[in-house]
């Protein structure tokens, strides 16, 4: 059967020539579309004469300002390929946890507290060279090198014990994703379990090592992870409950996992964790149950999240569409993952592989080659 050429697919072909490809810088990147306005930028020159004394002290203590990208409202999202307005500013970060981003701005007479859930990207001014090189390895796809540096930086005998705690959280999340990319899921889960106990910012939930495929059957250390997941399911911390339930959905504790996900999904504050729990429940529907109404609900949930949080749910939606026989729509969603989420190569590359296979089935060899080239740009 020939796949229809949707407006999205035509846009994809046009975009191939010039779309930028890069890994995420400290967790995420909003689209570089002209719609993605920078509303303000503060603190471009950390040595400016009009800097406050507090700011100069903070720069001296923490090496300099980081670049912060945040949205004004959690209702902001990617809608019809238009990115939300993003505020970008340079400020010295004092802490970044599950509730607050605490900064000192150039003109600050006191620290400024911003809502952590609204942060969609941070480019840290790393406190030391080891942290900077670990991050550089992660960005370049040198995952084994990054993991090796992780032990030196974050272990009990750290070479840099003064690394700010918020930067340690970011680096642990990057090490989680390094482990996922190397198919070391047990290690990734153990790392994330440690991170979950340290009040991670919502943005770092995007690194949570849960299977966004319709089944976890092909994950080689699945049995070991499911053994650990029983304990996470009983933990008091919601992120660990989510991780445990996601892994136990295709186990003999499925019913308990479903109840946990249902409870977490009913969070009244539109939390990322609640949305992820709701998306994991999509796995419980058989292909024949994917009605237009249900697909609309799934799409609405996905689109209600800021772009950096959408990769996993979009990949799962694409797989469910493919299994239901809706190849054209599955193609669109797989391409969406591959194009918009290069910072998640362990999702973007298999998404592009599926897209390439679907295009090849319609004898569009030139389009298939373009998708393959897209995949090469994501690294090995």
Beta bridge partners of 96: 101
Residue 258: partners with Cβ closer than 8 Å, 6 or more residues away: 245, 249, 281, 284
- What is the architecture, at CATH level 2, of domain 38-124? Roll (2.30)
Between 272-280 and 311-324, two packed helices, what is the crossing angle to 10 degrees? 20
Q: Give residue limits of the domains in the chain.
A: 38-124, 128-209
One digit per residue, pLDDT tens: the chain, 380 residues?
334 444 444 344 434 434 333 333 444 444 433 334 443 444 444 455 578 999 999 998 889 999 999 987 765 454 434 455 789 999 999 999 999 999 999 998 999 999 999 999 999 999 999 999 999 999 999 999 999 999 999 987 888 888 999 999 999 999 999 999 999 999 999 999 999 999 999 999 999 999 999 888 788 899 999 999 999 999 999 999 999 999 999 999 999 999 999 999 997 766 889 999 999 999 999 999 999 999 999 999 999 998 899 999 999 999 999 999 999 999 999 999 999 999 899 999 999 999 999 988 877 878 888 888 888 888 77
Sheet of 100-104: strand order equals 112-115, 100-104, 87-96, 66-70, 119-123
- The DSSP H or E segment spanning 12 is helix 7-15
Quote the pTM value: 0.84
Q: Is the dihedral angle over the CA atoms 248, 253, 258, 260 positive or is it negative?
A: negative
């Amino acid at each position: 059967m020939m796949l229809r050429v949707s407006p999205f697919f035509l846009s994809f072909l046009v975009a191939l020539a010039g779309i930028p490809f890069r890994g995420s810088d400290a967790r995420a990147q909003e689209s570089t579309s002209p719609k993605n306005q920078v509303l303000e930028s503060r603190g471009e020159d950390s040595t400016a004469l009009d800097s406050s004394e507090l700011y100069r002290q903070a720069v001296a203590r923490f090496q300099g300002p980081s670049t912060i990208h945040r949205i004004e409202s959690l209702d902001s999202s990617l809608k019809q390929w238009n990115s939300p307005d993003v505020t970008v500013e340079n400020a010295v970060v004092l802490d970044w946890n599950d509730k607050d981003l605490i900064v000192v701005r150039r003109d600050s007479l006191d620290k400024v507290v911003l809502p952590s859930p609204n942060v969609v990207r941070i480019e840290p001014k790393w406190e030391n060279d080891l942290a900077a090189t670990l991050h550089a390895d992660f960005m370049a796809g040198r995952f084994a090198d990054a993991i090796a540096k992780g032990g030196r930086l974050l272990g009990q005998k750290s070479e840099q014990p003064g690394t700010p705690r918020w930067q340690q959280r970011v680096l642990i999340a990057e090490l989680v994703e390094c482990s996922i990319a190397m198919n070391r899921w047990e290690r990734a889960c153990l790392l994330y379990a440690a991170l979950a106990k340290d009040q991670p910012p919502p943005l770092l939930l995007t690194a949570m090592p849960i299977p966004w495929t319709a089944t976890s059957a092909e994950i080689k250390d699945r049995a070991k992870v499911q053994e650990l997941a029983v304990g996470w399911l009983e933990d008091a911390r919601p992120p660990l409950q989510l991780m445990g339930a996601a892994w136990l959905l295709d186990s003999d504790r499925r019913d308990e996992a479903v109840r946990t996900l249902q409870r977490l999904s009913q969070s009244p504050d539109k939390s990322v964790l609640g949305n992820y729990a709701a998306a994991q429940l999509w796995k419980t529907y058989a292909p024949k149950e994917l009605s237009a109404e249900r697909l609309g609900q799934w799409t609405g949930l996905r689109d209600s999240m800021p772009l950096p949080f959408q990769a996993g749910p979009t990949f799962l939606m694409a797989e469910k569409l493919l299994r239901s026989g809706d190849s054209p729509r599955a193609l669109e969603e797989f391409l969406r993952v591959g194009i918009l989420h290069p910072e998640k190569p362990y999702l973007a590359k298999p998404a592009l592989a599926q897209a390439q296979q679907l295009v090849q089935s319609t004898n569009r060899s030139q389009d298939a080659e373009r998708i393959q080239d897209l995949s090469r740009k994501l690294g090995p």
